[in-house]
């Protein structure tokens, strides 16, 4: 079967062209031509590449194509948010979400099929990890979004920002995420500045410094709690990398400064992490780290034990943090009606099968939490 060139990075294109017999002398020129057709013009077939000789197109056509992964489902929310369920040839499915917001449009990209981490407020966490995505599969999510939004060859872009916040823990798929982000950011191709790309991690401490050095995007941390007991419950990877170590890694994040602030994500869970005392603890905790706090009203999903904090409580929480000297925007829920909001992603085909074991574990956590109150 012919291989798709869509989503490949320059190194991969180079090696395919070399294997076809393209000479060393022509290699860069040929790679750049393909790059432009794939990532600037959004070509869908090799025959469109009219600045390549007929003979060369014929040779390419014999081995390659520009096929995209299949879109199993495309949903559009009443607020304009779009979600694609994308199926890869091995049958694995992931979700990608586009959130338009005035002049800005953010593409939320997945890095894994499922997730190992079981954050208890997150729907993806109920879906077992199937596998890492390749960098080609990571990049192809943007190609599919640009196709659907008819964004190729336009001066005004719909997708201005990218967040690695979809399904999966990006730092558990480090090399492929790094290579994918480098394709997103390439000036001669998709050209999204790294200042507009945010990698979100639940706190894989040993990889945070590497991310700063080798990826260099903006960093977001799924924090969600101000002490280890509660964070162990909400983000269980905290048992391995506790808050103190995580915040040290943030302080040492290469090049962290005011212009490259770290974003702390904080999901607002009613009567769990939303008290005024916890807001004050949060300020103390992040003191000295150039940062902002994104407050995320909890987006419910079937089977969850959590509720979203009341709106006036979220505002009180935000005010305290603002008065403490940190920006704390409240992220307005987007795409809730199509389960595209933060923490709601889960491949549709798996949705009906929320595991009974998982629900029991949540019920146990809930009774332990009530016992601690």
Number of Cβ atoms within 10 Å of the Cβ of 38: 24
We find the least distance from the C-beta atom of residue 17 to ligand SF4, in angstroms, to be: 36
Q: Where are the beta strands (DSSP E) in 155-212?
A: 161-164, 197-201
Separation CA 3–CA 315 (nearest Å)? 51
- Pick the binder of ligand SF4 from 136, 140, 202, 299 (CB under 6 A): 202
The active-site residue, picked from 95, 169, 233, 265, is 95
Separation CA 115–CA 367 (nearest Å)? 25
Residue among 106 and 202 whose Cβ is closer to ligand SF4: 202
- Pick the binder of ligand SF4 from 43, 66, 86, 167 (CB under 6 A): 167
Residue among 60 and 167 whose Cβ is closer to ligand SF4: 167
Q: Is residue 189 within 8 Å of 40, Cβ to Cβ?
A: yes
Residue among 35 and 264 whose Cβ is closer to ligand SF4: 264
- Pick the binder of ligand SF4 from 7, 42, 69, 168 (CB under 6 A): 168
The active-site residue, picked from 115, 119, 122, 342, is 342
Query: Which x/- pattern over 313-332 shows residues binding ligand SF4 (rule: CB under 6 A)?
Result: --------------------
Residue among 164 and 283 whose Cβ is closer to ligand SF4: 164
Residue among 124 and 173 whose Cβ is closer to ligand SF4: 124
With CB under 6 A, what is the number of residues at the site for ligand SF4? 12
Q: Token digits for 132?
A: 């890492």
Q: Which stretch binds ligand SF4 (CB under 6 A): 44-52, 114-122, 178-186, 292-300?
A: 114-122
The CA–CA distances, whole Å, from 74 to 113, 147, 338, 340 equal 18, 12, 10, 11
DSSP state letters, 210-229: HIIIII--EEEEE---SSHH
Residue among 56 and 358 whose Cβ is closer to ligand SF4: 358
We find the least distance from the C-beta atom of residue 114 to ligand SF4, in angstroms, to be: 8
Q: Which stretch binds ligand SF4 (CB under 6 A): 47-55, 167-175, 268-276, 360-368?
A: 167-175
Q: Which stretch binds ligand SF4 (CB under 6 A): 67-75, 164-172, 301-309, 328-336?
A: 164-172
Q: Is residue 111 within 8 Å of 99, Cβ to Cβ?
A: no
Helices (DSSP H) in 149-193: which residue ranges? 174-185
Q: Is residue 120 within 8 Å of 360, Cβ to Cβ?
A: no
DSSP state of 77: -
Residue 48: CA count within 13 A, CB half-sphere: 12
We find the least distance from the C-beta atom of residue 201 to ligand SF4, in angstroms, to be: 8
Q: Which stretch binds ligand SF4 (CB under 6 A): 68-76, 79-87, 88-96, 112-120?
A: 112-120
Report the site for ligand SF4 in 115-144 (rule: CB under 6 A): 115, 117-119, 122, 124-125
3-state secondary structure of 308: strand
Q: Does residue number 222 form part of the binding site for ligand SF4 (CB under 6 A)?
A: yes
Q: Is 119 a catalytic residue?
A: no
Q: Which stretch binds ligand SF4 (CB under 6 A): 9-17, 110-118, 278-286, 331-339?
A: 110-118
Residue among 7 and 125 whose Cβ is closer to ligand SF4: 125
Q: Is residue 262 within 8 Å of 290, Cβ to Cβ?
A: yes
We find the least distance from the C-beta atom of residue 318 to ligand SF4, in angstroms, to be: 21
Q: What angle do CA 107, 122, 86 make, to 5 degrees?
A: 45
Separation CA 287–CA 281 (nearest Å)? 10
Q: Token digits for 197?
A: 């790309």
Provide φ and ψ at 262, rounded to 5°: -85, 140
- Pick the binder of ligand SF4 from 93, 169, 233, 274 (CB under 6 A): 169
Q: Is 342 a catalytic residue?
A: yes
Separation CA 302–CA 32 (nearest Å)? 47
Number of Cβ atoms within 10 Å of the Cβ of 14: 17
Q: Token digits for 251?
A: 């302080």
Residue among 77 and 202 whose Cβ is closer to ligand SF4: 202
- Which residues of this protein are in contact with ligand SF4, per CB under 6 A? 115, 117-119, 122, 124-125, 167-169, 202, 222
| Residues designated as active site | 95, 342
């Amino acid at each position: 079967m012919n291989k798709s060139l869509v989503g490949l990075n320059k190194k991969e294109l180079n090696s395919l062209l070399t294997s076809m017999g393209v000479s060393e002398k022509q290699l860069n020129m040929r790679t750049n031509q393909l790059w432009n057709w794939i990532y600037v013009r959004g070509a869908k077939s090799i025959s469109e590449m009219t600045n390549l000789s007929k003979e060369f197109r014929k040779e390419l056509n014999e081995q390659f194509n520009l096929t995209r992964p299949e879109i199993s489902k495309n949903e559009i929310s009443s607020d304009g948010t779009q979600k694609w369920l994308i199926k890869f040839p091995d049958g694995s499915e992931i979700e990608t979400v586009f959130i338009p917001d005035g002049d800005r449009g953010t593409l939320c990209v997945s890095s894994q099929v499922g997730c190992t981490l079981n954050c208890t407020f997150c729907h993806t966490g109920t879906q077992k990890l199937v596998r890492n995505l390749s960098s080609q599969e990571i990049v192809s999510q943007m190609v599919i979004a640009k196709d659907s939004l008819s964004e190729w060859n336009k001066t005004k872009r719909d997708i201005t920002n990218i967040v690695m916040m979809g399904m999966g823990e990006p730092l558990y798929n480090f090399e492929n995420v790094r290579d994918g982000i480098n394709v997103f950011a390439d000036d001669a191709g998709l050209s999204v500045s790294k200042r507009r790309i945010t990698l979100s991690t639940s706190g894989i401490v040993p990889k945070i410094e590497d991310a700063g050095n080798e990826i260099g995007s903006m960093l977001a941390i799924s924090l969600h709690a101000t002490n280890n007991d509660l964070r162990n419950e909400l983000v269980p990877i905290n048992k391995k990398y506790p808050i103190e170590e995580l915040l040290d890694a943030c302080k040492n994040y290469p090049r962290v400064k005011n212009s490259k602030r770290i974003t702390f994500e904080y999901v607002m869970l009613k009567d769990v992490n939303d008290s005024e005392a916890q807001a004050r603890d949060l300020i103390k905790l992040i003191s000295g780290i150039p940062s902002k706090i994104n407050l995320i009203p909890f987006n419910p999903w079937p089977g969850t034990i959590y509720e979203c904090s009341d709106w006036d409580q979220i505002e009180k929480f935000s005010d305290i943090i603002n008065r403490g000297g940190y920006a704390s925007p409240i992220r307005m829920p987007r795409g809730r009606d199509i389960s595209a909001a933060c923490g709601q992603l889960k491949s549709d085909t798996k949705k009906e099968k929320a595991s009974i074991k998982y629900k029991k574990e949540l019920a146990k956590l809930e009774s332990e939490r009530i016992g601690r109150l």
